[in-house]
Structure 1
Amino acid sequence: MKNVFIIGSKGIPANYGGFETFVEYLTEKKISNDIQYHVSCLSNENSEFNYNNTRCFNVKVPSLGSSRAVLYDLLSIKECINYIRKNNLDDCIIYILACRIGPFMSYFNKDLKKLKVKIFINPDGHEWKRSKWNFFIRKYWRYSERLMIKNSDLLICDSKGIEAYIKKDYRKYSPNTKFIAYGADLKQSELKNDDQLLLNWYESHKVNSKEYYLIVGRFVPENNYDLMIKEFIKSDSSKDLVIISNVQENVFYNELLKSTNFSKDMRIKFVGTVYNQELLKKIRENAYGYLHGHEVGGTNPSLLESLASTDLNLLLDVVFNREVGDNGALYFTKERGNLVQLIDKVDNFNENEINSLSNKAKERIAEAYSWEKIVNEYEFLFLNN
């Protein structure tokens, strides 16, 4: 029996978040009876429960701000080691999601090697580039990433761009890498177009089906809200720009308001978050187009979801987005007026042009990013290492 311990996500059942959704599907769609998953779950108590035929162990972590995630990973890996030792388990893998505990890995190495435990790591994206972190936290992220890579047996990258970056920037460690993509749900929303939940949402935000472009993502500068809003305002589109994000009226919001004057354009609509996944999927399906300005990190879950659901996808032209969208999307640059021209162009697409891109996008997801494919690749990897 291969025992695979997964730490670094907040745990399952998944409420929201990329890593949590990944673990949910990995365990739910498990095929092999030769794998036993053990999943750490962030909690206010220490206990165990079973979910998706998976042993889930709660890890109690005090609230410590941004350092809580680091402590959570440390306590989780310690719990994994204790459980493996107590139950005399062999043939074990600890799969760590994200690179938060690099400086502490050497402390655990002696026990891990003695127990013959292999360490697999998902490096996620360029976390050290994210604007939400101050200078010192960014330095820690970069330092931690280096030490995690140095002390791993295998790095599983969900983006070929991230894999190339690791092989280039950390070549002195001769990193062992494997590309396995993130997955996407191909099923259509369970909601119908006349569902009252959907109609109420449209009514509350004064939005009509197929009469809006959509943005879904974290409200941070590196997702290029400033660029997309400025360009949309300059376009001739009669459609709305609906922005689903965890908007807070903070410094970034105020700077964005000042730089774009979006409050003067009735088409720009910040509508907050949508946590009902079926509703969110239906909102995606009924959007005329999707704008994606992410440029930091690897494969973005919201991009996969939009390609699986939305007919027209307009993506910022960076390597990560090109890798995912391929010929199923259209691309814009940061050059002034480039996105304006693209919006005005697709606004006048006929039905055949829309259907052609929509079909290519869905074919791309089915071919390379279905959860069934991803789970199969993970299980083959776990069982053969």
Structure 2
Amino acid sequence: MKKHVFIIGSRGLPAKYGGFETFVEELVKHQNNKNIKYHVACQSENSDMALPGEHFEYLGADCFVIKLPKIGSARVIAYDILAINAALKYCKKEEIKEPIFYILGNTIGGMIGHYATKIHKSGGKLLVNPDGLEWKRTKWSGPIRRYLKYAERKMVQHADLIISDNAGIKSYLSEEYGIVNSKIIAYGTEKINSNLTESKTLVKYKVSDYYLIVGRFVPENNYETLIRNFMKSSTTRDLVIVTNNKGNPYFEELRDKTQFDKDPRIKFVGTVYDQDELRFIRQRAFAYLHGHEVGGTNPGLLEAMWSTEVNIVLGVDFNRTTAGDSVLYFDKENLLTIMAVVENLTDTERKNLQHKAHQMIDEKYTWEYICEEYETMFTSC
């Protein structure tokens, strides 16, 4: 019997963003099991393939378009509700038996009980990927963070299966909520090297020998710790920071706190949307600094493990379970010491670290492997 999997919670296909959108695109792109049919909810404002209420095919997946109401931040909750209802209606119309609903993120969690009942009445299963610990992100106000924590708890309570992309997430859920029916399937990455011979960004900022930071410009990625320690170091190398700092109030706050603008080695270069150029920048870096503290298997860390020889990574549980012994870890008190170690690594030691990272990617994080894991799970539900 064909398995019908309804994926809800991403912006949809084709992927125009990172995160869940990339995951969904890779999932349908690498599909091998023809007994699975993917149905993907798509936000109307991000889809020019069809009108709201209509369906279109993309890489073999059935995509259905949902029109979002203009109700502020609550629209993301409404999107999940509308998508679930549309999917249930489609199941009834097409007489689909035992559908699988895979919800990405906890946004709808506060109201999931009602919809879990409807899914179960249809003969379906409810699977949830809680993503990273969204309620810990400082970009959210106190009330929203409290709602997200509550939503997380309700999702765990009502889901038939929780899919964690990292062993650290699974451990956290078990410690927080007791026995949780869960499975670990990581995020994936591409094994691609850049064919470029130069980067227009590096040329513009006159940089050739540098440490690198790539990531969203938010406090929980520990920019303050990374920058303060770099400023204390005696390295003659630059620090290239690829991030969305332009117009971000956190940029002004961080400049006031650290006075990084007085250190000519520090180069905020903005965002780099060209993925081939970003790979080139990663490949040429002396070392990559990864301060992400909240989340699961971070895509940026996987990309660095493939592209950059030496990676200096904040030693929280999520990162350790992702990278193993293929990187060097720091805590917030000893980053300067770890940087000094990296400055003195031999070429052989650097190559050994990259070899370990490549082995881990090959064994655990290729999209082919990740998508095979998902197909096995969906067919066994």
TM-score normalised according to structure 2 size: 0.95
The amino acid across from 1:69 in the alignment is V
Distance 1:89 1:177 in 2: 25
Partner of 2:280: 282
Distance 1:110 1:318 in 2: 37
2:62 partner SS: strand
RMSD: 1.3
**C-alpha displacement of 1:242:** 0.8
**C-alpha displacement of 1:15:** 1.9
Which of 345, 349, 374 matches 2:345? 349
Check conservation: 2:188, 2:366, Cα contact below 8 A: yes
**C-alpha displacement of 1:83:** 0.7
Distance 2:133 2:119 in 1: 27
Per-residue deviation, residues 77-120 of structure 1 (Å, max 9, x unmatched): 11111111111101310100000112222222332122111000
Alignment of 1:99-178 (within 5 A): 99-171=106-178, 174-178=179-183
**C-alpha displacement of 1:62:** 3.1
Sequence identity (%)? 46
**C-alpha displacement of 1:64:** 3.4
Partner of 1:367: 363
Check conservation: 2:229, 2:335, Cα contact below 8 A: yes
The amino acid across from 1:101 in the alignment is I
Partner of 1:246: 244
Check conservation: 1:235, 1:341, Cα contact below 8 A: no
Distance 2:116 2:31 in 1: 29
Over 3 Å counting, the alpha-carbon distance change for 1:364 and 1:88 in structure 2 is same
Distance 1:313 1:357 in 2: 8
Per-residue deviation, residues 149-205 of structure 1 (Å, max 9, x unmatched): 11110000001011011112111xx4210011111111222x2325xxx2x222212
Alignment of 1:144-293 (within 5 A): 144-171=151-178, 174-189=179-194, 191-194=195-198, 198=199, 200-208=200-208, 211-293=209-291
1:9 partner SS: coil
Distance 1:285 1:99 in 2: 35
The amino acid across from 1:329 in the alignment is V
5+ long unaligned stretches in structure 1? none
1:101 partner SS: helix
Check conservation: 2:212, 2:285, Cα contact below 8 A: yes
**C-alpha displacement of 1:39:** 0.7
2:324 partner SS: helix
Per-residue deviation, residues 242-274 of structure 1 (Å, max 9, x unmatched): 111111444422221011111011111111111
Over 3 Å counting, the alpha-carbon distance change for 1:357 and 1:75 in structure 2 is same
5+ long unaligned stretches in structure 2? 46-50
Distance 2:95 2:77 in 1: 27
1:192 partner SS: coil
Distance 1:203 1:158 in 2: 37
Say which is worse superposed, 300-309 or 240-249, in terms of deviation: 240-249
Q: How many residues align?
A: 374
Check conservation: 1:131, 1:221, Cα contact below 8 A: yes
Distance 1:128 1:63 in 2: 24
Distance 1:68 1:217 in 2: 26
Distance 2:331 2:377 in 1: 37
Distance 1:64 1:234 in 2: 47
The amino acid across from 2:310 in the alignment is L
Check conservation: 2:15, 2:22, Cα contact below 8 A: yes
**C-alpha displacement of 1:294:** 0.7
2:84 partner SS: helix
Alignment of 1:21-170 (within 5 A): 21-44=22-45, 45-46=51-52, 47-170=54-177
1:327 partner SS: coil
**C-alpha displacement of 1:276:** 1.4
The amino acid across from 1:366 in the alignment is D
Partner of 2:48: none
2:5 partner SS: strand
1:116 partner SS: coil
**C-alpha displacement of 1:55:** 0.7
2:107 partner SS: coil
Distance 1:158 1:134 in 2: 26
Check conservation: 2:100, 2:126, Cα contact below 8 A: yes
Check conservation: 1:38, 1:57, Cα contact below 8 A: yes
Distance 2:71 2:345 in 1: 51
Distance 2:117 2:258 in 1: 55
Check conservation: 1:122, 1:157, Cα contact below 8 A: yes
Check conservation: 2:116, 2:159, Cα contact below 8 A: no
**C-alpha displacement of 1:344:** 2.3
Check conservation: 2:238, 2:267, Cα contact below 8 A: yes
Check conservation: 2:196, 2:277, Cα contact below 8 A: no
